[in-house]
Amino acid sequence: MIRLTLEYFAQLRELAGTREQSLETSFATVGPLYEELREKYAFPFEASKLRVAINGDFAPWTQTLKDGDHIVFIPPVTGG
């Protein structure tokens, strides 16, 4: 199992009911993890509509996860 810290912004934060959470996962990449969270929290966005940052850097959805990673899901936002 891999221990992660997840952070949500904007509408994702509202739907998850938290700004940040810790969890353990067996997923090797962030893509399947997001899909599981999307189902759990009814996130309206497909992964292709979001950006993901891992440990402060934008990353592809296929990047391998490591124990202790900090994942940030960034949905599209309106405004300037």
Interval 20-77: pLDDT, tens: 999 999 999 999 999 999 999 999 999 999 999 999 999 999 999 999 999 999 988 7
Q: Compute the C-alpha angle 76/78/79, nearest 5°.
A: 140
Nearest to 52 by CA among 18, 4, 17, 15: 4
Q: Identify the domain containing residue 35 by its residue range.
A: 2-74
Question: Can you give the CATH number for the domain in which 30 is found?
Answer: 3.10.20.30
Distance, CA of 24 to CA of 54 (rounded, Å)? 16
pTM: 0.90
For residue 16, pLDDT beyond 60: yes
Count: domains in the chain: 1
Q: Is the dihedral of CA 59, 56, 37, 29 positive or negative?
A: positive
Residue 79 domain-assigned?
A: no
In a domain, 80, yes or no: no
* pLDDT number for residue 77: 74
- Decide if 40 is inside a domain: yes
Q: Kindly tell me if the per-residue pLDDT of 6 is higher than 70.
A: yes
